[in-house]
Amino acid sequence: MLVIEADEWEAALLGKFLTDAGYAVEFATGAREGFDKIRESKPDCILCDVNLPDIDGFWVARRVRTETGVVATTPFLFLTPADDAESRLHGLHVGADLHINKPFRNDEVVAQVGAVLEMANRLKAQRAMLANEAPPSSRGSALQGDLALISLSTVLTLLELERRTGHLKITSEDGRTARIELVEGTLLSATMNGDASEPTELLREILRWKKGKFGFKADLVQPTPELTRRSVGGLLLEAMQLEDEAGR
């Protein structure tokens, strides 16, 4: 596990909390040093302060998520001031998994780290299951499955973490069809029954589908200037928040 924190006292506290919980901890005090250690040691988890002396923590997260190989999927937690809502939102858009509020508590740090590592392990298991269930002729180029067995949010998170490029097609039990175009794990466009759809609203709708089929086909998707690539994780969060608010 790697802690990127310039403040000596906070780094010492994090080290004690995590070491007492059984984790092996390395430290870095700046963004560049931290990223070099990430590439060298490939930690199981990264805790990174938003504010660092050389470059901000968002730079680290962006570099991690655009790496090739296993580094790109490393669980990433930001350390942010509790009242800094803007940094928390920006952190989600650059690929952070969770945020820990500063000042932090021992139990919160250990619980958050444990949760994100457990999530990463579940995603690895789901990835293996999808690979095993895919037809031999499509392995490496396609994923497919049943929404009754795996949630759509998990599928989208996997595609984002693995920086996949291609088309995800989701068909509901009653025959409605949604199509999402991804470029390196980011959402480029979305359609419902062939018509262009606002991504957040489309995600709100298809996340309600508990039965149906999905299939992802890796192929070349050409971005066009008028289309903006958006973070899948950020869109999922927005969709779920809107759904929660609508249900209150």
Q: Is the pLDDT of residue 87 over 80?
A: no
Q: Which CATH topology does 2-123 take?
A: Rossmann fold (3.40.50)
Domain segments of the chain as ranges:
2-123, 135-247
Query: Could you give phi then psi for residue 173, rounded to 5 degrees?
Result: -60, -30
3-state SS assignment for residue 215: strand
In this predicted structure, what is the pLDDT of residue 138?
Answer: 41
Q: Is the pLDDT of residue 92 over 90?
A: no
In this predicted structure, what is the pLDDT of residue 135?
Answer: 46
Q: Do residues 7 and 52 lie in contact, with contact meaning Cβ atoms separated by under 8 Å? A: no
Q: Is the pLDDT of residue 132 over 70?
A: no
Buried b (16+ CB within 10 A) or exposed e, 75-93: bbbbbbeeebeebbebbbb
Q: Which of 76, 103, 230 is nearest to 156 (CA)?
A: 230
Percent of the chain with pLDDT over 90: 39
> What are the DSSP E strand ranges found in the chain?
2-4, 26-28, 46-49, 76-81, 98-102, 142-146, 166-172, 177-183, 186-192, 195-196, 212-218, 230-231
Percent of the chain with pLDDT over 70: 87
Stronger pLDDT, 221 or 49, i.e. the higher one:
49
Confidence of residue 141 (pLDDT cuts 50, 70, 90): very low
Mean of pLDDT values over 68-94 = 80
Q: Is the pLDDT of residue 37 over 80?
A: yes
Stronger pLDDT, 219 or 14, i.e. the higher one:
14
Q: Is the pLDDT of residue 248 over 70?
A: no
Provide the 10 A C-beta neighbour count for residue 137.
Answer: 8
In this predicted structure, what is the pLDDT of residue 247?
Answer: 66
Q: Do residues 58 and 50 lie in contact, with contact meaning Cβ atoms separated by under 8 Å? A: yes
Mean of pLDDT values over 79-86 = 81
- Rounded to an integer, what distance in angstroms lies between the CA atom of residue 240 and that of residue 237? 5
Give the model confidence (pLDDT) of 22-36 as tens digits. Answer: 999 999 999 999 999
In terms of Cβ atoms closer than 10 Å to its own Cβ (0-12, 13-18, 19+), residue 103 is: exposed
Q: Beta strand 46-49 with 186-192: parallel, antiparallel or unpaired?
A: unpaired
Stronger pLDDT, 220 or 43, i.e. the higher one:
43
In this predicted structure, what is the pLDDT of residue 222?
Answer: 63
Confidence of residue 225 (pLDDT cuts 50, 70, 90): low
Give the model confidence (pLDDT) of 153-200 as tens digits. Answer: 878 887 887 778 889 999 999 999 999 999 888 888 999 999 999 999
Q: Do residues 230 and 199 lie in contact, with contact meaning Cβ atoms separated by under 8 Å? A: yes
Q: What is the pTM of this model?
A: 0.60
Stronger pLDDT, 72 or 25, i.e. the higher one:
25
In this predicted structure, what is the pLDDT of residue 240?
Answer: 80
Q: Do residues 58 and 94 lie in contact, with contact meaning Cβ atoms separated by under 8 Å? A: yes
Stronger pLDDT, 130 or 37, i.e. the higher one:
37
Beta bridge partner(s), residue 231: 186
Beta bridge partner(s), residue 26: 2
* Enclosing H/E stretch for 240: helix 232-247
